[in-house]
């Protein structure tokens, strides 16, 4: 990954990778290599000039990385459209199972094992980049599945599923010192005076751009503090 200020060195980087591959008895496959340029949303009427494409390497607007689709605007729109299309296809299989007399409880189990697992796959990595329209599509899909009887009416909403997935993943990071993401979380320095307790003892990461709100670690660090502070906003009413 190269920053915009070093975009002129792309060809040298590719040559370096090719040389490294040759030294290790490998060969750089240009047909399987892709180039993607992440650009900020320009102001209306402002033209964004992109560098010339690399030779023999296709430039794409979206890229699938470990099952998650990343586009050049760093939004989750393409990924949400993809998983909804896949889940709609799975609904046909559920309809066939129901027509063959599968018990309702078993149908709900299949729904959780297929649909819910697909909707929540790697959710902490891309859910923060969902727009309001993306979230509305996901919530509408869950509501439609409830109406059609593919899942229980007690099925949590999609926002609750995502929140639970975020909390579970963040809890594993905090509780396990050997987690690979622990190096990105600095412990809060010791303070001589008493402060309100937090659910974690990590230092808050400063927000510098609007993209920081989409970052999982930054979202969870601030979410934990907000949830902690909310518990003190409602005084206990004592009846005499």
Q: Does the global pTM surpass 0.85?
A: no
What pLDDT does residue 16 have? 85
Buried b (16+ CB within 10 A) or exposed e, 71-92: bbeebbbbbbebbbeebeeebe
What pLDDT does residue 231 have? 40
What pLDDT does residue 128 have? 83
What pLDDT does residue 21 have? 87
What pLDDT does residue 106 have? 93
What pLDDT does residue 182 have? 74
If you count DSSP H runs as helices and E runs as strands, how many of each does the chain have, helices first? 8, 4
Extract the residue ranges of the chain whose pLDDT is less than 50.
Answer: 228-240
Three-class DSSP category at 58: strand
What pLDDT does residue 136 have? 92
Tens of pLDDT along 57-102? 888 888 888 888 888 888 888 999 999 999 999 999 999 999 999 9
The CA-based diameter of the chain, rounded to the nearest angstrom, is 82
């Amino acid at each position: 990954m190269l920053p915009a200020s070093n975009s002129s060195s792309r060809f040298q980087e590719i040559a370096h990778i090719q040389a490294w591959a040759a030294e290790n008895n490998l060969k750089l496959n240009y047909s399987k290599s892709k180039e993607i340029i992440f650009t900020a949303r320009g102001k209306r009427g402002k033209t964004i000039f992109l560098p010339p494409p690399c030779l023999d390497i296709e430039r794409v607007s979206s890229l699938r990385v470990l099952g998650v689709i990343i586009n050049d605007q760093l939004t989750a729109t393409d990924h949400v459209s993809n998983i909804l299309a896949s889940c709609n296809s799975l609904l046909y299989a559920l309809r066939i199972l129901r027509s063959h007399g599968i018990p309702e409880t078993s149908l709900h189990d299949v729904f959780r094992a297929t649909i819910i697992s697909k909707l929540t796959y790697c959710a902490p990595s891309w859910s923060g980049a969902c727009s309001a329209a993306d979230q509305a599509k996901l919530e509408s899909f869950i509501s439609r599945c409830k109406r059609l009887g593919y899942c229980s009416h007690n099925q949590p909403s999609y926002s609750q599923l995502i929140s639970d997935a975020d909390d579970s993943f963040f809890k594993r990071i905090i509780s396990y010192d050997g987690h690979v993401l622990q190096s990105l979380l600095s412990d809060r320095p010791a303070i001589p005076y008493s402060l309100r307790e937090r659910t974690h003892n990590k230092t808050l990461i400063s927000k510098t751009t609007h993209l920081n709100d989409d970052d999982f670690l930054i979202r969870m660090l601030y979410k934990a503090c907000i949830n902690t502070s909310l518990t003190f906003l409602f005084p206990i009413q004592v009846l005499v």
